[in-house]
Structure 1
Amino acid sequence: MKCPFCSHQDTQVVETRVSEDGGFIRRRRRCPSCDKRFTTYERPEVNFPAVVKKDGRRIEYERAKLLGSMKLALRKRPVSTEQVDGAVERIEEKLLNLGLREVLSTRIGELVMFELKKLDKVAYVRFASVYRSFEDIDDFKTLVDEVGR
């Protein structure tokens, strides 16, 4: 594996861990040239369903988009990277288990909200307030009251 810092062609695996659910392998690597460390993830390659947006456009599923939106909601919250990765893995597993060629973006949004609600209620409210496009403070209050129960 090529070093992302100095582009040295040969890096060493320092540590290997299998995820709790066995869905991926995490490897810590070290570059003998610049001595920097980095992490790689080994996952099976699968075909996710196409995402159908609200306006009818169809786009390819992108893990980075899902992860980015979750990280934005979780910004400055006490949730570990491993917990976020686990949530993304569960969402992707559910998408694959649907067995569909296309999935509505709203379905993905609901899966994200479900996982965020388990991880961090503040992040859940952040995501839901943007995802559901609240028009006024009453919508926001209703959501906060729902989470508080």
Structure 2
Amino acid sequence: MRRRRECLACQHRFTTYERVERPNLAVVKKDGDRELFDRNKLFAAIHRSVGKFLTSEMEIEDIVSEVENDLYGLGVSELPSRTIGDLVLDQLADRNAVAYVRFASVYREFKTVEEFEDALRQIRDKQHQAE
């Protein structure tokens, strides 16, 4: 939520951004470790993987918000990290094919050309289904 405020002492106007505080959500990592969901960590991971292929940091923030809403909408207290990655890929598939493949290559740890080809095939299929 965005709010415009004014300081009564100096009459300076400023903007604040607020978000509803949500219950803790545990993420189960590949190695079995658990840690609390951290939207800043998710933002950084997406930015690092695909930052220059999206139009703005606001677009990344939109993706993070969508993923976060989807996660809390599941109504669970813990989930595998794979679920988060899959939700990010769903968001990227609708926005930018190159960003999708770049994130998939990092997230799924591609090691062969065939794995890149599979990701390209998946994004093409999603784009054709959307048409």
Q: Amino acid of the residue matched to residue 96 of structure 1?
A: Y
Instruction: Quickly say closer, same or farther: Cα 1:132–1:26, change in 2 above 3 A.
Output: farther
Shift of residue 127 of structure 1?
0.6
TM value normalised by structure 2: 0.79
Match of 1:117 among 84, 93, 107: 93
Unmatched runs of 5 consecutive residues or more in structure 1: 1-23, 30-37
Q: Is the CA contact (8 Å cut-off) linking 2:89 and 2:104 kept in structure 1? A: yes
Higher relative contact order (CA 8 A, sep 6+): 2
Instruction: Report the CA distance shift for 1:143/1:84 in structure 2 as closer, same or farther (over 3 A).
Output: same
Which structure features the higher share of helix residues? 2
Structure 1 residues 70 and 40 mapped into 2: Cα distance closer, same or farther (>3 Å)? farther
Structure 2: gaps spanning 5 or more residues: 7-13, 126-131
* TM-score, normalising length: structure 1: 0.70
Residue equivalent to 1:129: 105
Deviating beyond 6 angstroms after TM superposition, the runs of 4 or more aligned structure 1 residues are: none
* 1:1-149 correspondence to structure 2 within 5 Å: 24-25=1-2, 40-149=16-125
What CA RMSD, in Å, does the superposition of the two structures yield over aligned residues?
A: 2.6
